[in-house]
Chains A and B, each alone.
Chain A
């Protein structure tokens, strides 16, 4: 079963995250919507993985599942796991007990084969406690949203919003920046420590006026501002000190997305979920923002899950690509392989639509029909009613994702005809 369990494994690089059989259903009046219905793929450490498909095929839901940002209700995680192995870090003060050491090397071996030297065991992101999820959000896995105009709080300054990431995840660093609070009494040190963690105690309002505390708090704010300015400067924002004091509505769309990127990268996360980061932007700056993300990703060796429906951008920036259709994975593979020789009819349709993709958003001119209703979907291939190659098998049996080469897997009977006795038939369809 190992090959079926991880059919999309990248043979050259170990995975930082692995999605297995992810199912997310949304309650609706007509019944549960199978928005994501058995998705498998993995993200190799340090790679940029594209996730493409038409609007509504479940890309955002898949991406949000990594951070536990799926509203429940109406949604329900109907099955699956998202395994995530954190990277090795100097500062482990933000880890929770659920960050367990690698069972083989106990975290000691930097060339351990099991954990690839990360020293950590894997965590199932769908099962961790809320506290662990909070420790992961922003620190280990960060998100860049589609519309920076909506993802920034309109009534807080850019500086206030970036400060939160540091206060939540880097308070130890901030306290180190100001030389610690060792020289202070317990009460005063407590107040400064709480300020560095974005907490407030009952007496902090009064304590913050006491001269030694006030001095420390002032230096804390200065240290915080230095870090924020550095984070903004990394995204090529020219005047960070001014931007810190700006409100979102005073910035252009491109600037706002740079701020979002700075915020996502602030704590040097292991993985970034970028959900259509350029879709809401002016066409003229889309490429610039993508180049920026790519440049920062390569510089830091961060892994990126890049969700997009713009195949030309995926082709230019990604290492591998996952093609989703109606809540399932149609095809996975290296960008070069998939773009040169698409094996799924849907992928072919998508690629044929590229020249027109400038005007057509989500609608595929070359494939007639639309994404099927995802309430009680029929058995068999989800693409059957739009596929020109449809065979009798296709409407009865669900084609599972099968590797064709080490670099490419496809779920289509054209590529791997259903074998009699079919190991890849769905259990409920097997004769008893």
Chain B
């Protein structure tokens, strides 16, 4: 199948998959508790509770409630977040930008560093550089993310005071405009070095926490794929043509090793969205993850539904992009078969 046809077919399927996901999650959230739980207090009268139940259509069947929710989504109304004391749709963009800044930065560093380290270790198999990389990678993959984050917090914030927590210094944040919501980009647009430095300084610890595991996984995958490719005949054939070792590695072995690694990178990015929840809580990062955590604890169903809807779209799109890269890298891949 042509790549273009495949992408079109997948994009047509996308809404149906999202509907499926939303039905499942809607049912599960309603099983977990009542959507009005977050508003209730002891002072409320029975009449007030009944009024709330009426507003959330709790006396109608579940599927009717679902359709009310879908109707809201199409009108841009994702409900009221009890946790944020604001409409979900109003809070969401800013929080999304915060989370995306953190995850994309971590993902970018993790992919670049992971591919580089994997190549570095794989092309020096069983030499000391490989062993050192292995130790780093295995600890990265096995340290629980929240524990590693707390460790960084204790050492570099509590004890040494080298890094701050939160996303920004309030005064510096207020001193520039925020057209994109991405602090680094906003700082560059405003031409403020102070703001840029503030953004990066705040980003380092949470990004390190979030990216360490991803670097480890990508490094290990890239290394083992490269070791395997370096044993293939075509590598010797490339050498036999007179290619310098640099090109044998870059043009031949590494490009083949990227094929299996790209799949793992796709999964790792989904893992980053999970990890962001812990990293945001630890470093008081004002993103979706921290919001979601409070929402789950307090039964803020509008927030939970929006978060899940968004993550599933993100996940499906990531998968599609991975498939496209995969097909671009390996001409033998026949998508959709």
A interface residues, tally (CB under 8 Å) = 29
Q: In the docked arrangement, what's the CA distance between A171 and B236, Å?
A: 22
Q: In the docked arrangement, what's the CA distance between A143 and B236, Å?
A: 10
A153 touches B236 (CB 8 A): no
Contact with A along B52-95 (1 / 0, CB 8 A): 00000000000000000000000000000000000000000000
A155 touches B244 (CB 8 A): no
CB-CB contacts below 8 Å: B214-242 with A: 232-234, 236-242
B234 touches A151 (CB 8 A): yes
Q: How far is the CB of A389 from chain B (nearest CB, A)?
A: 40
Binds A, one of B278-286, B297-305, B324-332: B324-332
**Residue among B247, B330, B331 with the highest chain A CB neighbour number at 10 A:** B331
B238 touches A154 (CB 8 A): no
Decide: A169 near B332, CB < 8 A? Known: A145-B237, A153-B256: no
CB of B124 within 8 Å of the partner chain: no
Q: In the docked arrangement, what's the CA distance between A249 and B334, Å?
A: 12
Q: How far is the CB of A254 from chain B (nearest CB, A)?
A: 18
What A residues does B331 contact at CB under 8 A?
154-155, 247, 249
Pick the contact of B237: A134, A135, A152, A169 (CB < 8 A). Answer: A152
Q: In the docked arrangement, what's the CA distance between A392 and B255, Å?
A: 58
Q: How far is the CB of A73 from chain B (nearest CB, A)?
A: 9
CB-CB contacts below 8 Å: B233-275 with A: 233-234, 236-244, 247, 251-252, 255-256, 259
Interface residue SS majority, chain B = helix
A154 touches B256 (CB 8 A): yes
Decide: A138 near B332, CB < 8 A? Known: A153-B256, A154-B256, A155-B259: no
CB of A62 within 8 Å of the partner chain: no
A164 touches B259 (CB 8 A): no
Decide: A249 near B332, CB < 8 A? Known: A134-B242, A137-B242, A138-B242: yes
Contact with B along A165-186 (1 / 0, CB 8 A): 1001100000000000000000
B247 touches A198 (CB 8 A): yes
Q: How far is the CB of A342 from chain B (nearest CB, A)?
A: 33
Decide: A138 near B240, CB < 8 A? Known: A155-B331, A198-B247, A249-B332: yes
What A residues does B233 contact at CB under 8 A?
145, 147, 150-151
B240 touches A69 (CB 8 A): yes
A263 touches B234 (CB 8 A): no
What A residues does B256 contact at CB under 8 A?
153-155
How many Cβ-Cβ contacts under 8 Å join chain A to chain B? 76
**Residue among B233, B244, B330, B332 with the highest chain A CB neighbour number at 10 A:** B233
Pick the contact of B330: A69, A151, A155, A164 (CB < 8 A). Answer: A155
B240 touches A137 (CB 8 A): yes
Minimal Cβ-Cβ distance residue in B for A198: B247
A139 touches B242 (CB 8 A): yes
What B residues does A169 contact at CB under 8 A?
242
CB-CB contacts below 8 Å: A235-264 with B: 247, 249, 260, 263
Q: In the docked arrangement, what's the CA distance between A153 and B249, Å?
A: 12
Minimal Cβ-Cβ distance residue in A for B332: A249
B237 touches A165 (CB 8 A): no
A168 touches B241 (CB 8 A): yes
Pick the contact of B240: A142, A147, A198 (CB < 8 A). Answer: A142
**Residue among B237, B238, B239 with the highest chain A CB neighbour number at 10 A:** B237
What B residues does A142 contact at CB under 8 A?
240-241
Q: In the docked arrangement, what's the CA distance between A150 and B243, Å?
A: 18
Decide: A69 near B234, CB < 8 A? Known: A155-B255, A155-B259: no
Pick the contact of A138: B234, B241, B252, B330 (CB < 8 A). Answer: B241
Q: In the docked arrangement, what's the CA distance between A367 and B240, Å?
A: 36
What A residues does B251 contact at CB under 8 A?
156, 164
Q: How far is the CB of B337 from chain A (nearest CB, A)?
A: 14
Minimal Cβ-Cβ distance residue in A for B330: A155
Decide: A154 near B332, CB < 8 A? Known: A145-B233, A147-B233: yes
CB of A363 within 8 Å of the partner chain: no
Q: In the docked arrangement, what's the CA distance between A164 and B235, Å?
A: 13
A69 touches B241 (CB 8 A): no
- Size category of the B interface is 20 to 34
B247 touches A69 (CB 8 A): no
CB-CB contacts below 8 Å: A116-161 with B: 134-139, 142-143, 145, 147, 150-156
What A residues does B330 contact at CB under 8 A?
154-155
Q: How far is the CB of B72 from chain A (nearest CB, A)?
A: 48
A69 touches B239 (CB 8 A): yes
What B residues does A153 contact at CB under 8 A?
234, 237-238, 252, 256
Q: In the docked arrangement, what's the CA distance between A64 and B329, Å?
A: 31
CB of A233 within 8 Å of the partner chain: no
What A residues does B255 contact at CB under 8 A?
155-156
Q: In the docked arrangement, what's the CA distance between A145 and B244, Å?
A: 19
Q: How far is the CB of A29 from chain B (nearest CB, A)?
A: 15
Minimal Cβ-Cβ distance residue in A for B253: A153
Q: In the docked arrangement, what's the CA distance between A263 and B243, Å?
A: 13
Pick the contact of A165: B242, B247, B252 (CB < 8 A). Answer: B242
Q: How far is the CB of B331 from chain A (nearest CB, A)?
A: 4
Decide: A150 near B232, CB < 8 A? Known: A155-B256, A155-B259, A249-B331: yes
Q: In the docked arrangement, what's the CA distance between A416 and B249, Å?
A: 51
Q: In the docked arrangement, what's the CA distance between A67 and B241, Å?
A: 10
Decide: A164 near B332, CB < 8 A? Known: A152-B234, A153-B256, A155-B259: no
Q: How far is the CB of B335 from chain A (nearest CB, A)?
A: 15
Contact with A along B101-131 (1 / 0, CB 8 A): 0000000000000000000000000000000
A154 touches B234 (CB 8 A): yes
A247 touches B243 (CB 8 A): no
The 8 A-B pairs with the shortest beta carbon distances in the complex, nearest first, are A138-B242, A137-B242, A150-B233, A138-B241, A151-B237, A153-B234, A143-B240, A247-B331
| Between-chain CB contacts (< 8 Å), 28 pairs | A64-B236, A67-B239, A134-B243, A134-B244, A137-B240, A137-B241, A137-B242, A138-B242, A145-B236, A145-B237, A145-B240, A150-B232, A150-B233, A151-B236, A153-B234, A153-B252, A155-B255, A155-B329, A155-B330, A155-B332, A164-B238, A164-B241, A165-B241, A168-B242, A198-B243, A247-B332, A249-B332, A260-B237
The residues of B with any CB-CB pair to A shorter than 8 Å are 232-234, 236-244, 247, 251-252, 255-256, 259, 329-332
The residues of A with any CB-CB pair to B shorter than 8 Å are 64, 67, 69, 134-139, 142-143, 145, 147, 150-156, 164-165, 168-169, 198, 247, 249, 260, 263
Task: For the A-B complex with A134-B242, A155-B256, A164-B243 known, give 20 more contacts whose Cβ atoms are closer than 8 Å.
Answer: A67-B239, A134-B243, A134-B244, A135-B242, A137-B242, A138-B240, A150-B232, A151-B234, A151-B236, A153-B238, A153-B252, A154-B234, A154-B332, A164-B241, A164-B247, A168-B242, A168-B243, A169-B242, A247-B331, A263-B241
